[in-house]
């Protein structure tokens, strides 16, 4: 069995064996939660000065929404006959899929921060696809892409709306 760090690196490398190992290990749920929390904190730090808590909470809530939508869409709306997954299996794999998100800590760096955030977002989407394909026993990567992209779009829209409300609230409170 791989160590916690090896699992994070394997997940970030989109290694199918890592996702299969995590899916099969009920004890990995705590590790998956730690990955999501660390990734969320990194997003908060990467958000820049004075936005640590808002950025971290926003990233955590976004991940929770994405995980929930992925479960519902993947197991109820678009399952394959082979799909047999419980919430724990999915949470463990998509939790480790947040591993690339640790790099969001560099998002505050001028000139490259926005690029880092974009690259990491796409990387996290790719890792989510692998996680979902493995956890839901999909034979089609395209089905996993569809499930993940639908949830990702909803999360992006949610972030834009909430971000706009937070910004507008800040502008009107002065």
- Token pair 């760096």 is at which residue? 109
Q: Which residues of the chain have pLDDT under 70?
A: 164-174
- Token pair 């970030």 is at which residue? 12
pLDDT digits (tens, 9 = 90+) for 119-163: 999 999 999 999 999 999 999 999 999 999 999 899 889 888 877
Query: Domain residues of the chain, as ranges?
Result: 4-172
Please report the pLDDT score of residue 174 as a whole number.
38
Decide: 79 and 136 in contact? Cβ < 8 Å: yes
Please report the pLDDT score of residue 171 as a whole number.
43
Please report the pLDDT score of residue 165 as a whole number.
64
Instruction: Please report the sign of the dihedral spanned by the C-alpha atoms of residue 51, residue 62, residue 43, residue 153.
Output: negative
């Amino acid at each position: 069995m791989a160590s916690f760090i090896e699992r994070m690196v394997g997940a970030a490398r989109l290694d199918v064996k890592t996702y299969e190992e995590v899916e099969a290990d009920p004890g990995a749920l705590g590790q998956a939660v730690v990955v999501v929390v660390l990734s969320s904190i990194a997003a908060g730090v990467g958000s820049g000065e004075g936005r640590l808590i808002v950025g971290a909470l926003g990233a955590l809530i976004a991940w929770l929404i994405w995980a929930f939508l992925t479960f519902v869409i993947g197991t109820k709306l678009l399952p394959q006959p082979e799909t047999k997954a419980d919430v724990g299996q999915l949470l463990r794999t998509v939790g480790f899929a947040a591993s690339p998100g640790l790099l969001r800590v560099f998002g505050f760096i001028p000139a490259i921060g926005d690029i880092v955030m974009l690259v990491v977002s796409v990387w996290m989407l790719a890792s989510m696809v692998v996680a979902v394909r493995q956890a839901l026993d999909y034979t089609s990567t395209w089905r996993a892409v569809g499930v993940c992209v639908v949830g990702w779009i909803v999360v992006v829209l949610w972030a834009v709306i909430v971000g706009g409300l937070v910004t507008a609230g800040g502008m009107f409170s002065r």
